[in-house]
């Protein structure tokens, strides 16, 4: 199963944000499970870096992002997906559109985000970290 992680999931782990951290950190630990592949995008990493840098300063934030990048699959956006995000009248937030089409291009079954309503246009399943945890963690434990 391929799963796309939104930036807010990464930020939760990098900054140990409670009450989400117990869920989001366990989800990121799934990268060692052969039945699941975790994806994020360079855009999500950039957003996560911005918030990690505010809390941890530049050097530590870079170390944290480097660790994430080494342990996650990085989904890129093709020119076609950028065009789809720009031209889909249902997509009101370009960033969310880019993430959605990156998830689609990498055949992700779902998107995990704490802003579920931002992906109102998604044909993929969209879950928050607690919802994903409740629905899928037993399958991958």
Residue of 71, 123, 128, 99 whose CA lies nearest to 4: 99
How far is Cα of residue 105 from the mean position of the Cα atoms in its chain?
14
Q: How many domains does the chain have?
A: 1
Tokens of 106: 């990498």
What CATH code is carried by the domain that includes residue 69? 3.40.50.1010
Full pLDDT tens readout for the chain, 141 residues: 999 999 999 999 999 999 999 999 999 999 888 899 999 999 999 999 999 999 999 999 999 999 999 999 999 889 999 999 999 999 999 999 999 999 999 999 999 999 999 999 999 999 999 999 999 987 776
| pLDDT confidence of residue 112 | 98
Residue of 98, 95, 83, 88 whose CA lies nearest to 121: 88
Query: Which residues span the domain enclosing 86?
Result: 2-140
């Amino acid at each position: 199963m391929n799963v796309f992680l939104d930036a807010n999931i990464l930020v939760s782990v990098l900054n140990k944000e409670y009450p989400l951290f117990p869920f989001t950190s366990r989800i990121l630990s799934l990268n060692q499970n052969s039945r699941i592949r975790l994806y994020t995008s360079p855009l999500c990493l950039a957003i996560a870096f911005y918030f990690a840098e505010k809390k941890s300063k530049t050097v530590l934030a870079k170390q944290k992002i480097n660790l994430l990048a080494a342990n996650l699959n990085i989904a890129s956006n093709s020119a076609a997906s950028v065009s789809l995000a720009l031209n889909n009248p249902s997509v009101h937030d370009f960033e969310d559109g880019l993430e959605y089409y990156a998830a689609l291009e990498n055949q992700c079954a779902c998107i995990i985000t704490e802003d579920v309503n931002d992906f109102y246009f998604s044909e993929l399943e969209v879950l928050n970290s607690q919802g994903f945890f409740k629905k899928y963690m037993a399958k991958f434990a």
